[in-house]
Amino acid sequence: MTVLPIIKGKDEDILRAKAAKVPQVTKEIKKFIKDMHETVEKAEGLGLAAPQIGQSLRLCLANFNGKMTPLVNPEVIWSSEETSTMEEGCLSLPKINVDVTRPVEIMVRYEDIDGKEQERQLHDLDARVVQHEIDHLNGILIIDYK
């Protein structure tokens, strides 16, 4: 496993691009996910999206239900009307914290590392982390909420 360098800066093209769908969870993708895992643990983050380490793919890791979980091609298929506001940071934007308002509860659909479709209903911080990571796949950063 390898700790990969995290791309930093609000104007990096890859952090501003809409990432491409992962066609299939190949051996290479699985290895990449392991490296992402190592990287996010080292950085003590709650999540990490593939574009942050140089791959413009719809793939991220997010900590929810107490576990760092890989999400392939994740999408929010439902979100609550109720919102909450909380200060967020980002591994790609050191020393920047922004109050971000997001739905409190979401339903997320994604593929797991075996390519199996999963759905999870998440709330509070778990939901927030997943929304933050999916934002990365769409080229959105926390500073856009300012």
Active-site annotation, residues: 133
Stretch that binds Zn ion, among 12-20, 76-84, 89-97, 109-117 (CB under 5 A): 89-97
Q: Are strands 117-123 and 105-111 parallel, antiparallel or unpaired?
A: antiparallel
Q: Which stretch binds Zn ion (CB under 5 A): 5-13, 31-39, 70-78, 87-95?
A: 87-95
Minimum distance from residue 134 beta carbon to Zn ion (Å): 11
Q: Which of 57, 90, 129, 134 forms a contact with Zn ion (CB under 5 A)?
A: 90
Q: Which 59-78 positions form the footprint of Zn ion (CB under 5 A)? A: none
Helix (H, G, I), strand (E, B) or coil at 131: helix
Question: Closest separation between CB of residue 100 and Zn ion, Å?
Answer: 11
Only one of the segments 55-63, 82-90, 103-111, 122-130 lies at the binding site for Zn ion (rule: CB under 5 A); that segment is 82-90
In Å, what is the CA distance from 115 to each residue of 3, 12, 71, 112, 136?
A: 24, 30, 10, 5, 21
**Binding status of residue 19 toward Zn ion by CB under 5 A:** no
Number of residue whose CB is nearest Zn ion: 90
Considering the complex, state which of residue 6 and residue 22 has its C-beta at the smaller distance from Zn ion: 6
Compute φ and ψ for 10, nearest 5 degrees: -75, -15
Instruction: Name which of 94 and 115 has its Cβ closer to Zn ion.
Output: 94
Give the span between the Cα atoms of 126 and 62, in whole angstroms.
8
Strands 105-111 and 67-79, sheet pairing: antiparallel
Of 103, 99, 136, 141, which Cα lies nearest the Cα of 122?
103
**Interface ranges with Zn ion (CB under 5 A):** 90
